[in-house]
Structure formats: structure tokens, C-alpha cells
Amino acid sequence: MTAAFQDAIVVVTGGARGIGESACRAFAAGGASVAILDIDAEAADLTRDAIAGTGTGTGTRVWSAGCDIADEKQVEDVFARIDRELGTPDVLVNNAAINPRMNPLKLSVELWNKVLATNLTGQFLCSREAGRRMVERGSGAIVNVTSIAAASALGRGNFAYAVAKAGVEAATRELAVEWARHGVRVNAVAPCQVSTHSFAAAAAELDRLGDSRLRDYERGIPIGRAATPEEVAAAIVYLASDGASMVTGVVLPVDGGNLAMNAGGSIG
């Protein structure tokens, strides 16, 4: 990758693993200085150390901090620290999320509130802090990570997660319109299943037990496989880049054609 983000400052939530880690690596490779935020501070530090020195830009720095994005004060404090340590963010990637699957009939209000606090309110809090800075400066890009679950029901206990992600898509459009004239673009990516380490481990274990559930999911993806974290990160980088300067308010599926295929359709 060329140094497309030379001297840019990028904040990634949930940056220690999976899609977030891949996004951090991609932005660092493009010359950006990256702030890795994660509720697991130790994991964020390990990812920071692994990425440090890999950026192509001479000014590339990698910084990390523990942060529970559902906590308003923690979010405000960590953005103030980023201001001091790196400078004003040019890009925010709202990636952090949780998905404790639960049958809606058994879902407690406590768990419902926890999912919405992280997956929806947390993204709002980070967008608000980054947006305040970007609007004042007159430029910036925010990329939210949502899910195909926001547009097409998955079942299997994804109720609270899907509702929160649908809220993220609405927030993406609303903030895009609110901030467009201030030079701030807001977009989202909507992945299908992603072959993170945990997904691969689950698939291997289910295969060992003769359970075909995860393979059945993949058969609903016309391309025939789950996405990789790097493929989702590439879409995030595009939406944050100058190449997408006329793109705002968009939810970009990274789903191998999943949403395009009718439930009664067939591949090939």
C-alpha cells in the first residue's frame, strides 16, 4: 500500500483483534498514526507492539489504551489523551461490539441494555467525540462497522445484536447528513460472517463433531466462503480515503453477495 494516509491520525475501537486489528495494520501500512482502543487493554498493547514500526510513513506512531466505549467518561478521557499523544483524529473506525447470543424469550433487560450500550450508544459516544473535533476542523471520516444482520434477520439469538446494528445504520445516515457541509463523511461497512480466529476455531470444532451449521452459513454466501478480516479492513480503508471523497451516508456490504441472493435462490 502506498502512503495514502501519511500523517493522518486514525482511531480504531475494538482494535486489538479481528477486523479492528486488520484495520489498524492497514492504516499503519498506509502511513497513518493509529490509536488502538479496546476494552482489553493488555490485548491492545500487544497489538500495538506487533504493529509498531510496520508503517510506511516516517511519522507513523502506534498508540494503545484500554477503553470501555459504553462509558461516557472513559470515551471523553481517551479522546483527550489522543489529542495530547497523537493529535486531532482524521479518521474514526467504530468497530467495537459484543454479541452474547440469547433467545429473545429468555433475554434479560440487563443483557439487552449491555448490548445496546456497547454496540449503539458506544458508537454514538465515539462519533460525538470525534465529530466535535472533525466539525471544528472542517474535515474527517468516520466508518462504522455494522452487519448484514441489520438488513436481514439471522435468528439464532442475534436479536439484540441485530437491533443495535440497525441503529448503527440509521446513525450512519443521520450523521452523514448532519455533518456533510462541515467536511465530515460518515459511512459503514456491513460484513457477513468473518473468518476471525474464533470463527475458524468454532468451524473446526463443529466439523470435528459432524455439525454442519457454520458450513451451512457459508452456503448462503454466493462467493462460497466467509470474509477475511483483511477484506473488511480494505473496504474500511477505501471509505476513509480520498478516493471516497464523494461517498457519505453509504452502508457497503462486504458479504460475498449474501444480501443480493433471495432465500429461494441458488448458486451457479
Alpha-carbon distance of 34 to 89, in angstroms, equals 9
Q: What is the pTM of this model?
A: 0.92
Who's near 89: CB < 8 A, 6+ residues apart?
9, 10, 11, 35, 79, 82, 130, 133, 134, 140
Q: Does 237 map to a domain?
A: yes
* 208 and 234 co-located in one domain: no
* 147 and 181 co-located in one domain: yes
Q: Does 48 map to a domain?
A: yes
* 94 and 82 co-located in one domain: yes
Concerning whether 238 is annotated as a catalytic residue, the answer is no
Q: Does 235 map to a domain?
A: yes
Q: Does 257 map to a domain?
A: no
Predicted pLDDT of residue 95: 97
C-alpha to C-alpha distances, 139 to 87, 133, 233, 240, nearest whole angstrom: 14, 9, 21, 11
Contact 78, 24 (CB under 8 A): no
Number of separate domains in the chain: 2
Torsion sign across C-alpha atoms 24, 14, 254, 119: negative
Q: What DSSP assignment string belongs to 57-103? A: STT--EEEEE--TT-HHHHHHHHHHHHHHT-S-SEEEE---------
Please give the grid coordinates belonging to residue 104. Answer: 429473545
Count of alpha carbons within 13 angstroms of residue 230, beta-carbon side = 3
Q: Does 49 map to a domain?
A: yes
* 123 and 220 co-located in one domain: no
Predicted pLDDT of residue 205: 64
Contact 159, 33 (CB under 8 A): no
* 153 and 214 co-located in one domain: no
* 200 and 97 co-located in one domain: no
* 186 and 219 co-located in one domain: no
- One digit per residue, the tens of pLDDT, for the chain of length 268 reads 456 899 999 999 999 999 999 999 999 999 999 999 999 999 999 999 999 866 555 557 999 999 999 999 999 999 999 999 999 999 999 999 998 889 999 999 999 999 999 999 999 999 999 999 999 999 999 999 999 998 988 888 889 999 999 999 999 999 999 999 999 999 999 999 888 876 676 666 666 666 666 666 777 888 888 899 999 999 999 999 999 999 999 999 998 898 988 777 777 7
Q: Does 106 map to a domain?
A: yes
Q: Does 4 map to a domain?
A: no
Who's near 268: CB < 8 A, 6+ residues apart?
none
Predicted pLDDT of residue 1: 46
Who's near 241: CB < 8 A, 6+ residues apart?
4, 5, 141
C-alpha angle 68/149/99, rounded to 5°? 35
3-state SS, 7-60, equals CCEEEEECCCCHHHHHHHHHHHHCCCEEEEEECCHHHHHHHHHHHCCCCCCCCC
Q: Does 259 map to a domain?
A: no
**Catalytic residue (one of 17, 161, 190, 191):** 161
- Structural domain harbouring 62: 9-191+228-248
Predicted pLDDT of residue 261: 84
* 131 and 15 co-located in one domain: yes
Residue 152 DSSP label: S
* 17 and 112 co-located in one domain: yes
* 72 and 181 co-located in one domain: yes
* 158 and 28 co-located in one domain: yes
Cell 461516557: give the residue. Answer: 72
* 82 and 162 co-located in one domain: yes
Alpha-carbon distance of 102 to 92, in angstroms, equals 30
